[in-house]
Amino acid sequence: MEAGFLEGPQGPLFHILHPPEAEPPKGCVLYAPPFAEELNKSRRMVAEQARRLAAAGYAVLLPDLYGCGDSAGELQDARWEAWLDDLQRCAETLCARFPAPLHLWGLRSGCLLASALAHRLETPPRSLLYWQPVGNGKLFLTQFLRLRVAAGMMSGGKETTAALRERLAGGETLEIAGYPLAPALAQALEQARLQQPPDGVEVHWVEVMQGDAPQLPPASQRLVDDWQEAGIAVQAAVVPGEPFWSTQEIRTVPALWQRTLGCLQRGPAAAAQAADASAQPLVSVIMPAFNAASYIEEAIDSVLAQDYPHKELIVIDDGSSDDTVARVQAYGDRVRLLTQANQGSAVARNQGLDAAQGEYIAFLDSDDVWLPGKLTAQVGYLEAHPDVGMIYSDWLPWKRDKQSKAFPPPEALAPATPDTGVPPEEIPLLTEGSGWLYNRLLFGSLLHTITVMARRELIEQVGRFDPELKRGQDYDYWLRASRHTEIHQLDRVFALYRLHGSGCITQWPDINYEKLVVEKALARWGLEGPTGERSDRKAVERRLAGTCFDFGYHHYWSGNPRRASRSFLEALRHHPRHLGSWRYAGMSLAMGLFKGR
């Protein structure tokens, strides 16, 4: 990172430059900042995005415009045209140092500046990257003036936006939320509109919205549709998150960083330039690890040995105390290593999701292994079925035999080898594990994490793994995903689940997480699936009773009769006629009384 000043048309312009971490650079990215407090609220998001773009091979310039930040001048003297002059000088300087295609990146009102600049440049930019674009400057100005109206109402004032506009038209500079707004700048904002880009310029339009299934606002969707009908290459997307440019506390939206990288790396122009393995969709493999030194090398080797060429492996060490980190570091740049204090696999997977750059996301635990062909088969299927957002496969439990064979005997793996000549997209499905799975998932977690691959778009819709769930966070994730997409299961064994006696499956927690996950889903969505299918209430009650019985059963035989009895009584509340729960409730109560003597 380099910080300094360049000579702008009105005076020195402070800027931060992130040079590309690749030669030759893939492109130049010039940032057009938003207005007033939105600029300050978004600095962290923008700085982190710039670092990620630089790491991916782009030169990124983040300027403060005249009257803003550390650049020359005062905001009350700033003019819209002068800001465009500043940005034009920045573009010329950036491209002179790094000869590569230019991309203009704007946030909020900065998109209006980027839009106008695209028409001023002698050579139009390769693409326009819009974050939460303001399409209509007049509406934006009204929203900004309302900040003063709202503040005045708190102290008994009765100003209106119409009255404030009259004062601006009369030549008065107004102070709004601590920022001076000059009449000339207000007039320019009033007239600014997001312009249709020059011919041949791609547009990547990304908005951040909250909710279970966020969509573009109607005004944005109309403009995108109009441009697409006019032949403009527009890629529009929505990522879930908070409006970081306006929140009280500084917030980040990691999904937006990854989406932005994907926009530049997977845009039509970038795809046209790629003819080697990197032209295939990138698969990010996320592997959390905790004290896995005994097994992690086999897990890593099984990923690196996949015949699919365009992949990245991200290992997140969750505070290991053995030599897990050293064993991962021995792989050099073939594996990307992240570290964190011990916080659990959900937090580790979330950190992996933040770092992943792939169009597809796959998961593998550090003590399990993949079989050959997994990535090729799953990418091939998803590429051939764009309406499916998640794919998984069959798997086998695996325990080393006395001869310490690395894998089970060939006859046990026969289903893992696709029939000769059958392309990945034609591998048959297990119908009972495929489709809109919400209602079936209420009765059990069908998916095994180490077999799953998902589209990034789906990951961004579903969000992050729940760190409050110390167990069952993957089950919770599949339930959430099942509200957005069909999930399909390939009829092939592509993963081995290691049985070694020291995993979480042998250590029962104090909380019935399986029941908690199902109850959370029911509270959020009820018995009805996305297609209208409705689960039977009594069957669901029996399912909840079953989780309570299993939980109590394991605690009973682990010598914890009090927790067991509470769980058996809870099972009876859901299924009063279950004889096993009555029997074990009595046995655990008796054991508790005996132990209490």
DSSP 277-336: GGGSPPEEEEEEESS-TTTHHHHHHHHHT-S--SEEEEEEEES-SSSHHHHHHTTGGGSE
Out of 483, 517, 551, pick the residue that ends a domain.
517
Q: Are strands 127-131 and 202-209 parallel, antiparallel or unpaired?
A: parallel
Residues 255 and 113 both lie in one domain = yes
Contact present, 106 and 133 (Cβ < 8 Å): yes
Give residue 189's pLDDT: 93
Do 264 and 352 reside in the same domain of the chain? no
Neighbours of 594 (CB within 10 A): 9
Q: What is the pLDDT along the chain (597 residues), one digit of tens a residue?
A: 899 999 989 999 999 999 998 788 989 999 999 999 999 999 999 999 999 899 888 999 999 999 998 999 999 999 999 999 999 999 999 999 999 999 999 999 999 999 999 999 999 999 999 999 999 999 999 999 999 888 888 777 788 999 999 999 999 999 998 999 999 999 999 999 999 999 999 999 999 988 755 678 889 999 999 999 999 999 888 887 889 999 988 888 877 886 787 777 655 444 444 334 445 899 999 999 999 998 899 899 999 988 888 999 999 999 999 999 999 998 888 899 999 999 999 999 999 999 999 999 999 999 999 998 899 999 999 998 988 999 999 999 877 654 444 555 444 454 444 444 466 667 889 999 999 999 999 999 999 999 999 999 999 999 999 999 988 899 999 999 999 999 999 999 999 998 865 544 445 778 888 999 999 999 999 999 999 999 999 999 999 988 888 888 887 888 888 887 887 888 888 888 888 878 877 887 777 776 654
Q: How far apart are CA 97 and CA 106, in angstroms?
A: 21
Q: Say what the pLDDT of residue 482 is.
A: 96
For the domain that residue 409 is a member of, what is the CATH number? 3.90.550.10
Residues 347 and 449 in one domain: yes
Residue 396's nearest CA partner among 451, 435, 346, 440 is 451
Model pLDDT, residue 420: 41
Q: What is the 3-state secondary structure (H, E, C) of 353-374?
A: HHHCCCCEEEECCCCCEECCCH
Of 160, 192, 224, the one marking the end of a domain is 192
Rounded to an integer, what is the distance from CA 301 to the centroid of its chain? Answer: 26
- Residue 128: inside a domain: yes
Q: Which residue segment(s) compose the domain that 184 sits in?
A: 137-192
Instruction: State the pLDDT at residue 402.
Output: 46
User: Among residues 249, 273, 297, which one ends one of the domains?
Assistant: 273
- Taking the C-alpha atoms of residue 551 and residue 143, their distance in angstroms, rounded to an integer, is 54
Same-domain pairing of 8 and 99:
yes
Residues 87, 38, single domain; the answer is yes
The first and second tokens of residue 95, run together, are 């491209």
Residue 491: inside a domain, yes or no?
yes
Burial of 538 (C-beta count, 10 Å sphere; 0-12/13-18/19+): exposed
> What pLDDT is recorded for position 418?
45
φ, ψ of residue 23 to 5 degrees: the values are: -130, 130
Please name the residues in contact with 362: beta carbons below 8 A apart, sequence gap of 6 or more: 283, 284, 285, 286, 375, 378, 452, 453, 454
In total, how many domains does the chain have?
Answer: 4
93 and 156 inside one domain: no
pLDDT score of 279 = 58
Burial label for 47, CB within 10 Å (0-12, 13-18, 19+), is middle
pLDDT of residue 449: 96
Q: Is 526 part of a structural domain of the chain?
A: no
As to burial, measured by CB atoms within 10 angstroms (0-12 exposed, 13-18 middle, 19+ buried), residue 164 is buried
Residues 391 and 350 both lie in one domain: yes
Same domain, yes or no, for 125 and 20?
Answer: yes
Q: What is the pLDDT of residue 596?
A: 55
CB 496 within 8 A of CB 407: yes
The C-alpha atoms of residue 300 and residue 327 are separated, in whole angstroms, by: 10
Amino acid at the residue 1: M
Kindly state whether residue 223 falls inside one of the protein's structural domains: yes
Neighbours of 403 (CB within 10 A): 5
In a domain, 339, yes or no: yes
Residues 264 and 390 in one domain: no
Residue 447 sits in the same domain as residue 476: yes
Tell whether 461 is covered by a domain: yes
Whether the Cβ atoms of residue 474 and residue 449 lie closer than 8 Å to each other: yes
Closest CA to 438 of 390, 480, 482, 473: 482
State the pLDDT at residue 174: 92
Query: Does 23 share its domain with 122?
Result: yes
Residue 432 in tokens: 């009972």
CA distance 336 to 359: 17
Residue 524 lies in a domain: no
529, part of any domain? no
Q: How many CA atoms lie within 13 A of 527 on its CB side?
A: 9
Strand pairing partners for 176? Answer: 179
d(CA 332, CA 21): 17
Domain of 29: which CATH number? 3.40.50.1820
What confidence score (pLDDT) does residue 270 get? Answer: 43
Task: Tell me: do 398 and 485 sit in the same domain.
Answer: yes
- Per DSSP, 129 falls in state E
Cα–Cα distance measured from residue 165 to residue 108, given in angstroms and rounded to the nearest whole number: 22
